[in-house]
Amino acid sequence: MSHDPIAESVQSLLSSRDPDAASILAAEAKRQETTLELIASENHVSAPVMHAMGTCLTNKYAEGYPGARYYGGCVHHDDAERLAQDRAKKLFGCKFANVQPHSGASANAAAFLALLSPGDTFASLVLADGGHLTHGLKVNMSGKWFNPVHYPLHYDESHPEFERIDYDEAERVCLEHRPKLIMCGYSAYPRVIDFERFRAIADKCDALLMADIAHIAGLVATGEHPSPFPHAHVVTTTTHKTLRGPRGGLILTNDEDLSKKLNRALFPGLQGGPLMHVILSKAVAFGEALKPAFKSYQKRTKANARALANALIERGYRITSGGTDNHLMLVDLRTRDAELTGADAETWLESAGIITNKNGIPQDPRPPRVTSGLRLGTPALTTRGLKEADMGVVAGFFDRVLASKGDAAECEKVRGEVAAMCEKFAMPG
């Protein structure tokens, strides 16, 4: 386990002043330390990233942007935000960066507000095929205020690109509907995205191209996935997931006019005061991502994902699209057990110390609260130091739990073995 003196000091302070809060914090720290985190959108940040958030920068309102605040006393907050902006631009090779979004959803909402008018048409991949709720789901602002049309995956099992993006059909859909904006970048898509092809489609229908790289940002930053630049007009991302920073968002562009629209859309359009303590933490994370060790980490993350996918295939599970090119995979549970659901699998695995999330697979016949699959990812396991050989062990734990149909005794046995494995791989500290 990690030994973080600052975290221990915080725990001690809370214990003396607010034991109820201290108890919750201690329990969550133990949960994270003793479980295997396989949720593709989660990671374990470093101690510097974590502790930068718990600083005096949280005391200050800093509405506006560096050099143009609506409050006095922001000189050091300007420095912190400029540091985050400069590092983000260097990391992604772009000219303009807005580091203020509170989340990836906020970043996407700002981009919609800047680029579209209510009722405008945009194109995206539907959530059920790996998109995101902010890409046009009807219960979300993107689907309520705008008109989404969707391009498909290849659905023919005999096609060599089965369950991958059908770029020809995407072009046909976009030429038919003439969207003002085309979105690419997904929350549950395990293959490389052809940003250049999407830009060609956008140019044919006079649309802007927006890439949401929330999941693959760390891979993009290190050259382990092709960059959306120079093809995309706007790029949004979260700052956690593979980027391994604090929870937050980021908007990037090379277009000065668009950058001004995006800035105004975020503030004052959507948000008020920025979370300056989180922005400082983003700067720290971007600094870590600029170091050579971060590229090695991303390579290991991809290698671990391939190893885990292969180990699960060997045990009878189907991985959608046949494998993975990045950090995540979608597991079709039905090939192992036709009655097995994602909801049951998630619950049983958690009882054994393996944290996952149920997820629909393309053309899933089951509803989103049940699903036929799980989405798995390797960023957090890789952060803790697990390697390719360890993925076989993890797959073994996974299969034992599901093969037992959540048998309490077997889950408890696996839980002990998982905890023992976690002892060998310390949390970052």
Helices H / strands E in the chain, number of each = 16, 15
Long-range CB contacts for residues 387-391, cutoff 8 Å, separation at least 24: 387/300, 387/304, 388/303, 388/304, 388/306, 388/307, 389/307, 390/304, 390/421, 391/304, 391/307, 391/308, 391/311
Distance between terminal CA atoms of the chain? 9
DSSP assigned state of 154: B
Inter-residue contact 257 to 59 (CB < 8 Å): no
Helix 342-351 / helix 388-403 crossing angle, nearest 10 deg: 110
Q: What is the gyration radius of the CA atoms in the chain, in angstroms?
A: 22
Question: How crowded is residue 17: how many other Cβ atoms within 10 Å of its Cβ?
Answer: 9
Q: What residues are annotated to the active site?
A: 61, 63, 212, 238, 241, 247
> Which of these, 123, 128, 206, 108, lies nearest to 167 by C-alpha position?
123
**3-class DSSP assignment, residue 121:** strand
